[in-house]
Amino acid sequence: MTTTFSFSESIMTPGKMQPCTPEMLNAAFDNQRVINTCREIANRLKEVKEGKLTRVAFKKVKTTLKEDNLPVFCFHATFSDGYRHNQSAIPSGLSIYDVDELTEDPRAYYINKVAGREEELGICLAHISPSYEGVRLVFEMPKGMSLAEAQRWMADQLGDKTYDGCVKDMARCSFGVCRDYVLYYNEEKLFAAREVEVPENPVTMGTKDSAVSAPLLLPAPADYEDNFNGISYPQIIKAVEDQLGGVPAQGARNNFIFAMACNMRYVCNDDPQWIAQILPRYGEEEQKFLSTVRSACNRPQTKTVPELVNRALEQARKQQQLEEIIEANGVNAAQPPKMPQRLTKFMRLITKNVPEHLRPSVAMGVFPALGVHCKGVKFRYNDNAKVEPTFMNVLVAEMSSGKSCVNEPINAIMADIKESDTKNRKLMQEYKEQYDACAADQQKPERPKGIAIQWVKSDMTPAAFVQLMADAQGKFLYTRMDEIGMLNQLKTNGKGNNVTEILRLAYDCGDYGQERVGTKSVSESVEVRWNWNASTTPGKCRRFFADSMLDGTLSRMTFCTIYTDDDRMPVYGQYDEKYQQQVQEFVALLNNAKSLIECKKANQLVAEMIEENRQYSALADDDTYRELSYRATLSAFKRGMVLYILNGQKWSKEIENFVRWSYHYDMWCKMWIFGEKMRRAMDLDKAVMVPGRRNLMECLQDSFTLDDLNTVRRAQGMKADGSAQLRKWVQRGYCIFDPATGQYTKSPQFLSMHQKKAA
């Protein structure tokens, strides 16, 4: 019997299938609506990859666009009555092979796996799928093979070991695509007359292990919904499996399939075909599987939804919500979240002269300098607290990666303060010279008032720091450091490395000062207003803050990084006088801002973010993320309010998008740099400590670091530095040090002694 394949203008009209002609196929390829739809789906996929759209939302949009706009082809068969169902299916001798969810470009897959083998594989048509994440091959079935066997044969030819060999039915259809998506098209071969033997039962179903003829459930309808009340069916199936105790062993799977089908009736409109389409086979033969599903649907059904199904739906909803939040959050992504394409006028200006991969670090790094210009400005946060634009930014990236990219934008922002500082430094130097020139019996000149020097060096004593803060009279001080270790040049009273105390005070504008009895000594109490930038490498950053995992220092800072696979030398734009003038026009808005500034839309956004973060922390059970998220949200709010001032105190979608992105970017950097260390520190901190001094090694895991030991020592009320103790442990054979990893491992000698005592 000679036959061909069929075509319909829409999947929504299964009763209008007609034999396809070359003219119909070519017209579909060139249809403007098809072209526009493919382009729209591709744009939405790009948003997914940029982190602007979740996978779940993309799937919904993609399904709607395809169903509303694309024609369909049934390459397996034509239908004697024009209806797309299996009873009237007349096989065409063609089969389709889909490769879905590719991680590489579909064209690259085709070139590497198929190109040049079209004749060998019997391929008539090949095209990229409408989702632009897969490839579809239409090929002639080898003689004597069923649909499942033909598909398995193609999988073997392509070396596709992950293909499961499952074919739905003869009525399976495919959405059309535009001509740009066509990879190969042999019109003569596709529409060639071919003799096809029609089997007694035209429907062949396949499983991973076998291909057997199976009785039909129902005529194949149009594609079913892929979700129930917004919850995807795979999530529901997994939840129902969990409620039933998990997938059982092979011998009990028939009863398990029956129970699954009975419960899925309540979310699949009591439709056995629908259930069979979404339910896994669990290794069961196809014919037996379908018979079990039919039996389940023939069983009397209660009017009320069983409690097991309700629990499963709630579990599936929470799990899907978690996955959506995680995807939007991006904390676990391999690379930081992508910066929004649409930015405010100021952000476009300040980042325009650096390559794209450096723009996130510039966008985050300029806020300490911007905040310095906001004297007396406060913002009302959601808890009604009045907060100031305090920013401390650390750029963490590998050596020679371009960390100096923030310097010129900061210079442009600080140009007015640098000019003012130059004059004031000259006046201060004149005062010092006059003071030193006076004889011992002469009246010394008084220290001039109102001389504020704001851009200060990190190399200063606590006394100088307090004096400079007092001279500033409420203005911010600013420091830029090429290395985070330069912070150690400022130490509280010169005792140890506790500069982090000042850092915490700086974020909160806390009180700091000193009392001295000497007439020449500085005795002042000031509110710390000090913004700064620093840069470092990941390893140095972790070491510098090793003892500050749990004291709130890290949560008060903002971190950024430089991520790129391009090792070419970056090319920068011109930072000329015109650029500086344009930046200063924006800076003037900050200088002119006064007192309390409020923005209801900013507070509404923060309320949404706080709830999202609370949900994520609870669902992911991540205490580290929760602890870091509180102040990270506050810092993101402050950035939004500074942009609000720079935008003429007008809120915009660009500001909202930037605030959200900057929060997720900051959190990604913190979790990347400190996440694991903080988790280990929190676990050790929560450990129950018995009274009195105990064996510290018993408090540590079999492999540990110096930081872990220091955390345990602090919990025991000891000094944090355990270096000497570790040297003794190594010397006495209690542990072994691996210089390659920096890890200490408990020795077999210690473990054997410890186990005996424990026994």
Residue 219 to residues 222, 272, 365, Cα–Cα distance (Å): 10, 11, 62
How large a percentage of the chain has pLDDT more than 70?
A: 86
Which CATH architecture is the domain 687-758 placed in? Orthogonal Bundle (1.10)
Alpha carbons 280 and 236: distance in angstroms, whole number: 12
Q: Which two tokens stand for residue 409?
A: 């934008």
pLDDT at 70 over 70: yes
The pLDDT assigned to 365 comes to 95
* 740-to-427, 510, 710, 723 alpha-carbon distances in Å: 54, 42, 20, 18
Mean pLDDT for the chain overall: 83
Largest separation between any pair of C-alpha atoms in the chain: 124
Tell me: pLDDT of 218 over 70: no
Q: Which of 567, 566, 410 is nearest to 480 (CA)?
A: 410
What pLDDT, in 10s, does the model give residues 107-144?
A: 888 888 888 888 889 999 999 999 888 899 999 988 87
Residues 232, 320 contacting (CB under 8 angstroms): yes
Q: Which carries the bigger pLDDT value, residue 617 or residue 577?
A: 577
Angle at 366 between CA 475 and CA 659, to 5 degrees: 105
pLDDT (0 to 100) of residue 250: 64
CATH code for the structural domain at 345-414+455-598: 3.40.50
Ranked by mean pLDDT, the top range of 251-260, 424-433, 518-527, 549-558 is 549-558
Q: Above 50 in pLDDT, residue 397? A: yes
More confident residue, 327 or 640: 640
**pLDDT value of position 286:** 79
Look at 86-95, 357-366, 416-425, 466-475 and tell me which has the smallest mean pLDDT: 86-95
Rounded CA gap, 555 and 636, in Å? Answer: 12
Q: Is the pLDDT reported for residue 514 higher than 50?
A: yes
Give the DSSP letter of residue 691. Answer: S
The helix (run of H) or strand (run of E) holding residue 58 is: helix 55-69
Best-predicted range by mean pLDDT (253-257, 548-552, 556-560, 733-737): 556-560
* pLDDT attached to residue 197: 59
User: What is the 3-state secondary structure of 359-379?
Assistant: HHHHHHHCHHHHHHCCCCCEE
Q: Residue 325: what pLDDT?
A: 64
pLDDT in tens, 685-706: 665 444 555 678 888 888 888 8
Token digits of residue 239 = 């939840």
Q: Where in the chain is the domain with CATH 1.10.10?
A: 687-758
Position 385 scores a pLDDT of 93
Does the pLDDT at position 612 exceed 60?
Answer: yes
pLDDT of residue 381: 95
Mean pLDDT of 454-469: 86
Measured CA to CA in angstroms, residue 699 lies from 57, 84, 675, 696, 726 at distances of 46, 68, 21, 5, 14
Other beta carbons less than 10 A from residue 47's beta carbon? 14
The pLDDT assigned to 715 comes to 73
Asked if 292 contacts 258 with a C-beta cutoff of 8 angstroms, the reply is: yes
d(CA 174, CA 261): 27
Mean pLDDT of all residues in 374-391: 94
Maximum mean pLDDT: which of 87-91, 186-190, 408-412: 408-412
Distance CA 512, CA 524 (A): 8
pLDDT at 200: 42
CA distance 480 to 456: 8
What backbone phi and psi angles, to 5 degrees, belong to 588? -60, -30
| Cα–Cα distance measured from residue 438 to residue 435, given in angstroms and rounded to the nearest whole number | 6
Give the residue range(s) of CATH 3.40.50 domains in the chain: 345-414+455-598
Q: Is 407 exposed, middle or buried (0-12, 13-18, 19+ CB in 10 A)?
A: middle
Q: Which two tokens stand for residue 142?
A: 């080898």
Give dist(CA 625, CA 24) in Å, integer. Answer: 56
Strand 378-380's sheet: what is its strand order? 386-387, 378-380, 596-597
What one-letter code names the amino acid at 451?
A: I
pLDDT at position 487 is: 86
Residue 661 has pLDDT above 90, yes or no: yes
User: Does the structure show a pLDDT above 50 at 759?
Assistant: no
pLDDT at 50: 84
